[in-house]
Amino acid sequence: MAASSRSNSSDERNSPVPDLRPLFAERQEGVVCDMSEDERLAKIKDLLDSALAEFESVFESAGTFDQSRTGNGWTPSSIPIQTYVIDAMPLDQATKIAESRKARTFGPLGLSRLRPGRILRVGDPSLVFFPFWRVRGYHECFYFRGKTYTATVPDDVLAVQVGRRIRPLASQAKAKRSRMSRVLASIGRTVLARAEPRYFTVDGATELAYQFGEASVLVNGEGKEDISIEYLLEKKPRMHKIEKADQPTDGGSNTKFVPLTFKAEDAVRLLHSKVVKPPLVFNKILTNRFEVTELTLLELPVYVFRYKYFGREKELRIHGVTGEQLR
Mean pLDDT of 213-231: 94
62 φ/ψ sector (left φ>0, alpha ψ -120 to 50, else beta): beta
pLDDT tier at 14 (50, 70, 90 boundaries)?
Answer: very low
pLDDT at 261: 94
Give the per-residue pLDDT at 6. Answer: 34
Buried b (16+ CB within 10 A) or exposed e, 96-116: ebbeebbbebbeeeeeeeeee
Whole-angstrom distance, CA of residue 81 vs CA of residue 244: 8
Residue 155 confidence (pLDDT): 81
Q: What percent of the chain has pLDDT over 70?
A: 67
Q: Which runs of consecutive H residues, i.e. helices, occur in 148-251?
A: 179-191, 227-234
Residue 59 pLDDT class (50, 70, 90 cuts): low
Answer whether residue 85 shows pLDDT above 80: yes
User: For residue 208, what pLDDT is reported?
Assistant: 85
Give the mean pLDDT of 99-108.
80
Q: Do the domain assignments include residue 61?
A: no
Among 14-23, 101-110, 155-164, 238-247, the range scoring the smallest mean pLDDT is 14-23
Residue 21 and residue 6 in contact, taking contact as beta carbons nearer than 8 Å: yes
In a domain, residue 98? The reply is: yes
The reported pTM is 0.70
Tell me how far apart the terminal alpha carbons of the chain are, to the nearest angstrom: 45
pLDDT (tens digit per residue) in 292-303:
999 999 999 999
Residue 279: which domain range?
A: 76-139+209-326
Per-residue burial over 40-74, b if 16 or more Cβ lie within 10 Å, else e, is beebeeebeeeeeeebebbeebbbeeeebbbbbbb
CA angle 189, 195, 198 (to 5 degrees): 145
DSSP state of 156: T
CB atoms within 10 A of CB 83: 17
pLDDT digits (tens, 9 = 90+) for 251-305: 456 899 999 999 999 999 999 999 999 888 888 888 889 999 999 999 999 999 9
The dihedrals phi and psi of 301, each to the nearest 5 degrees, come to -85, 140
Q: Is residue 202 in some structural domain?
A: no
Please name the residues in contact with 194: beta carbons below 8 A apart, sequence gap of 6 or more: 188
Number of domains into which the chain is organized = 1
User: Is there a domain that residue 153 lies in?
Assistant: no
Q: Does residue 117 sit within a domain?
A: yes
Is 99 inside a domain boundary? Answer: yes
Average of pLDDT values for 140-147?
89
Q: What is the model's pLDDT at position 156?
A: 83
Residue 19 pLDDT > 50: no
* pLDDT at position 74 over 90: yes
pLDDT band of 244, cuts 50, 70, 90? low
Query: Is 221 contained in some domain?
Result: yes
Spatial separation of the C-alpha atoms in residues 171 and 213, rounded to whole Å: 40
Average pLDDT over the chain, rounded to whole? 78
What is each CA distance from 247 to 127, 198, 263, in whole angstroms?
15, 73, 16
Per-residue pLDDT at 63: 72
Specify if 195 maps to a domain: no
Helix (H, G, I), strand (E, B) or coil at 243: coil
What average pLDDT does range 220-241 have in this prediction? 94
Query: Helices 37-48 and 52-61: crossing angle, nearest 10°?
Result: 110
Q: How many CB atoms are located within 10 Å of the residue 183 CB?
A: 11
Closest CA to 81 of 267, 211, 209, 324: 267
